A and B are shown apart, each in its own frame.
Chain A
C-alpha cells in the first residue's frame, strides 16, 4: 500500500492494525450469516415451487403475480406470461430496500468488501471512491425502495389476515368443521414476521428523513416533529430489526417450504 497508514509522513508502523481484540469476529459473523441467507434466498427464489401451503404464502413469493399455483395469487396474475419464477418479479423491491439500507451498507461494506473490515484496521484496497460513482451512486435512491417496502409491508400484512381465514372443506378439522377463523403455527410465524418487517421498515433512516428529519423548523410542524421523535426511537434499533426480520422472513419461507413439500404438517391451534 503506497498511501494510507503506510504512506509517507505517517508514523512508520508495519502492522495494518495493532488492535488486540477480536475485531474480525463481527465482520466474519455478518459474512457467514448474510452469505447463508443469500444462498438460501437465491435457491428458493429460483426454485418456483413449494411456496404455497394453504393458507400460507411464502414472503419470497408475495404477491404472486406470475403463473402461480392455484389459490396463491391474491392480486391476479398480470405477469402470467413470465417464464421464470414468480419470486423474481417482486423480489427486486425488498432486495433493493435492503441493499440500499444504511445499516446493511455498513454491514456488507465491512464484511464483504472489507472497506474497512473494522475500525482502525487498514483496508486492502489501493483506491477508494466511496458512493460517488455508479453503481454505488444508486444508494441515494434508498427512499424509493422505502416507498416500495411500505407496499410490500401492506401486502404481507394482508397475507397474515388471509392466514387467519377459515380453511376450505378439504382442510377441515374434526367432524367437517370449517367455520370461524384458522390459526396455525404458520399464522403465528407470519404475524411475527410482519411485525419485524414493519419495525424494520418504519425504523428506516429515509423514513426518519421523510416524516420530519428534512424539516428545518420542528416548531412549525408539531405533528411531523412528534412522528420524527417516534421514528427516531425506532431508528436507534434499526440494525436489530434488520437482523430479526432477515431471520423471520427466511423462517416463514422455510416453514411454508416444509409444509408444501409434505415434510411436516401444520401445527394447527383452531
Chain B
C-alpha cells in the first residue's frame, strides 16, 4: 500500500472552548501522526497550531494525545493503526491549552526552578574531581530524559487534581531528585525536600509515568521507589535513626546538608 485517505479528528480551539474537527488527509506508507498533521496544515487547516521540532523523538516538543494515549506525535507510526480507523489527536489534557494542540507547559519549568541543584564538594588535591565508573553509570538512565513531559501530563496526581500542582513536582523531577541523591559527589541531602517540597508522598506508584515514557526510563522502579525508600530511611524508620545514633550505619550520607 502506498497511500490512503486517513480519517482524523483533531481538537481545535483555545482556553475559551473548542471541539474535535473531522478531517480526511492523504498519507503515505511509513508516515507518522505528525506527518499527517503537517499535511493537514499545508492543505486544509493553515492555522492549525502544533508545537514540534526535531521529528526524531529527541526534542520532546510534539507531545500530544493520540487516541487518548499520551504520545510523541513524531514517534507514533500510522502503520500501528488500521487504515480504516479514525485517529483522534488532542492536546495534553493536564496543562492549560493555548491553541489547538499547543499547551502551556510552564508548570514544569516552575517545578524545575524549585529543585535544589547540585552542590559539589571540594576538588581533589590535583584540582580534579573523580567518580568511579559504576557510580557514573547509575545516573545515565535518568539523563536520557528529553523533557517531553508526557509523564507529567499522564500522572493522575495533577492531571485529575489541579489543586495538587502546587505541592507536587511530578515524575520528571523525582527522576532528578533520585539522580542527585544517588550522586556520590553531591553534598546536599534532598530527602526532606523530596517529601516536603516535591510531595513524593502524593505519588501512589501506579506507574503511568513509566508506561508513557518514550525513552523507556523505568521512572517508578529506578527513581521514584528508591527515592521513597530514601525518604522512609530519613522519616519513617526508627531502626535507621537508631543505627545512625550508635554509629552502625554506613557513612554514605555524612557531610551532606539537608535542603
Contacts and interface: CB of A to CB of B under 8 A. Distances in A.
A243 interface: no
A103 B156 CA distance: 17
Given A19-B68, A120-B70, A218-B135, A209 B204 contact: no
B162 interface: yes
A127 to B, nearest CB: 7
A216 B183 contact: yes
Contacts of A128: 156-157, 160-161, 164, 202
Contact of B226 (A130, A132, A140, A209): A209
B90 A18 contact: yes
Given A105-B205, A106-B206, A130-B204, A18 B132 contact: no
A217 B15 CA distance: 49
Contacts of A168: none
Contacts of A142: 232
Most chain B beta-carbon neighbours within 10 Å: one of A15, A110, A209, A217: A217
B160 A130 contact: no
B68 A115 contact: no
A213 interface: yes
Given A115-B204, A116-B156, A119-B208, A19 B135 contact: no
Interface in B124-174: 131-135, 138, 154, 156-157, 159-164
A213 B226 contact: yes
B95 interface: yes
B207 interface: yes
Interface in B211-247: 211-212, 220-221, 225-226, 228-233, 235-237
Q: Name which of A7, A105, A205, A216 has the most chain B CB atoms within 10 A of its CB.
A: A216
Interface bin, chain A: 35 or more
Given A10-B96, A119-B154, A130 B203 contact: yes
A143 B232 contact: yes
Interface string A229-247: 0000001100000000000
A141 B233 CA distance: 10
B21 interface: no
Given A10-B96, A11-B93, A140-B235, A120 B88 contact: no
A213 B206 contact: no
A9 B96 contact: yes
A82 interface: no
A106 B203 CA distance: 10
B57 interface: no
Interface in B1-56: 11, 13, 15, 17-20
A162 B192 CA distance: 48
* Closest 5 pairs (CB-CB, A-B): A219-B132, A18-B68, A19-B68, A130-B202, A119-B208
